[in-house]
Amino acid sequence: MRTEEIRARVLTIHDAPKLDPITVVLQDVGPGQGRLIVECWCSAWAAYWGGMGDRTLAEFIASSDACYVSGKLLPSKYTKRDEAYLLRIVEAVQIAIRGGCTAPANERN
pLDDT at 84: 97
Per the prediction, the chain carries an average pLDDT of 92
The predicted pLDDT at position 31 comes to 93
What's the confidence (pLDDT) of residue 101?
Answer: 55
Q: How confident is the model at residue 102 (pLDDT cuts 50, 70, 90)?
A: very low
Structure confidence by residue, pLDDT tens digits, 59-69: 999 999 999 99
Inter-residue long-range contacts of 12-21, CB under 8 Å, 24+ positions, other chains counted: 13/92, 13/93, 13/96, 13/102, 15/102, 15/103, 15/107, 16/88, 16/89, 16/92, 16/95, 16/102, 17/92, 17/102, 17/104, 18/88, 19/88, 19/89, 19/92
Asked if residue 108 has pLDDT above 80, the reply is no
Domain residue limits, the chain: 9-99
How many residues can be counted in the chain?
Answer: 109
- pLDDT over 90 at 56, yes or no: yes
Q: Predicted confidence band at 38 (pLDDT cuts at 50, 70, 90)?
A: very high
Instruction: Quickly count: other Cβ atoms within 10 Å of residue 13's Cβ.
Output: 20
Query: What pLDDT was estimated at residue 100?
Result: 66
User: 75-85: per-residue pLDDT in tens?
Assistant: 999 999 999 99
